[in-house]
Amino acid sequence: MVVEYNDSGELTMGGTSLKTIAQSFGTPTIVYDEVQIRNQMRRFHESFKKSGLNYNVSYASKAFTCLQMVKLVQEENLELDVVSEGELYTALEAGFDPQHIHFHGNNKTKHEIRYALESKVGYIVIDSLEEIDLIDRYASEEVNVVIRLNPGVEAHTHEFIQTGQEDSKFGLSIKHGLAIQGVQKVRTSKHLKLKGVHFHVGSQIEGTEAMIETTKLVVHWLKENNIEVELINLGGGFSIKYVEGDVSFPIEEGIEEITTAVRSIVEEVNYPIPEIGIEPGRSIVGEAGITLYEVGTIKEIPNVNKYVSIDGGMSDHIRTSLYDAQYEALLVNRNDPKDETVTIAGKLCESGDVIIKDAKLPSTVKRGDYLAVLSTGAYHYSMASNYNQMQKPSVFFLKDGKAREVIKRQSLRQLIINDTK
């Protein structure tokens, strides 16, 4: 856990009082432990180095991105996975080497394809047959491409974050022949070079079984169809801990299992050992981030429920409403016993604006207290909105007792800056 109570009963991150952060910079505020982020990146690197295989670790920007996050990724020698023009623009503005950027997306616009080509990204991930024609039409020189396969594998996860099953908007189906058609179209194109294949079986994957079984399926398919590639990208989706009972993906053990399995699978069918790619996002930033809120109205309905409302909501914390995701919250300014079950609600005008339905909090919680919701580092700021004209929160990186602002709090003026008068 990136937070703990100090001797004074205040919740801290890296030894720094989160009460002080909340009082100094306001709420809602998302705070990241920069050391934790860097450590997660290094754990993936070190685990792969032990395997002796060629590899690349690419950070999935969609989990959380901003200029300073991209710079941190580059400092730790990870590559970068982007899925939109905006993510690519952010990466380039941060000075990230485009040769280490991979452009994903199931419906890349013509403009995005041109932008990726002009930027000379490392490779483009093909997600449909017609995309092959578009890239070939706009390219003026050789372009590395990777075909995203739909392997038809369902990982045990929420239905909206499954991506490898048969009925999915992502990838080219192996079973229905779209994948082999894609390979053939790339081979006969004028400018495209097939660098590799990619798959992604889902999110919050706790073990390696689905990933290994899919790798076996893909390698056998490649061998049977005489397709030789230099890269097999296994995607990401590695799990993190949100609440008690959740399992964080065991990076060292998991990568060892995956790389050992890859060696065995390719040797079994006499296939050249490829470079192995992965795309962690949530597992790098998820547990490193927490969101600070101030408690406002407390409403108790006798024998029914007690609502503790905070000064944010589904505009900065959509995952509970969207996925029925579960979270843990801690009182920041004192370490009282968690002796009551309450509902932590947001302040937006929406009945579904709930942060945690059955939260364990001290019965002493009152207006003006601060709460920290844990494991909000991934898919929180990146999924934030201006619903109810709420301002997006500020974001800080914390290191060596110092907080540096990496995203400023959105101003009221910025809410209407693009409106016409």
User: Which residues does the annotation mark as catalytic?
Assistant: 349
Residues 6+ apart with CB under 8 A from 161: 202, 203, 204, 237, 323
Question: Where are the strands (E) in 104-184, listed by range?
Answer: 123-126, 143-150, 172-173
Find out whether 279 is annotated in a ligand binding site.
Answer: yes
Alpha helices for 294-411 (secondary structure H): 319-323
Q: Name the β-bridge partners of 107.
A: none
User: Residue 273 is encoded by which pair of tokens?
Assistant: 């050992």
319 carries a ligand binding annotation: yes
Place of tokens 């061998």: 223
Annotated binding residue at 42? Answer: no
Q: In Å, what is the CA distance from 257 to each residue of 61, 233, 250?
A: 26, 16, 10
| 237 annotated ligand binder | yes
Distance (Å, rounded) from C-alpha 362 to C-alpha 342?
9
Beta bridge partners of 394: 29
Q: Using DSSP, state whether 183 is helix, strand or coil.
A: helix
Q: What angle do CA 408, 410, 416 make, to 5 degrees?
A: 145
Q: DSSP character for 272?
A: P
* Gap between the Cα atoms of 194 and 403, Å rounded: 44
User: Which of 97, 55, 109 minimizes the C-alpha distance to 73?
Assistant: 97
SS3 82: strand
95 annotated as ligand-binding: no
DSSP 10-53: -EEETTEEHHHHHHHH-SSEEEEEHHHHHHHHHHHHHHHHHHT-
The secondary structure of 369-380, three-state, reads CEEEECCCCCCC
Q: Is 281 annotated as a binding residue?
A: yes
289 is in an annotated binding site: no
CA 279 – CA 255 distance, rounded (Å) = 13
Gyration radius of the chain over CA positions: 23
Is 350 annotated to bind a ligand? Reply is yes
Is 277 known to sit in a ligand binding site?
no
Angstrom distance (rounded) from CA 372 to CA 289: 10
Residue ranges at the known binding site for substrate: 282, 319, 323, 350, 379
Residue list for the binding site: 237, 279-282, 319, 323, 350, 379
Known binding-site positions for pyridoxal 5'-phosphate: 237, 279-282, 379
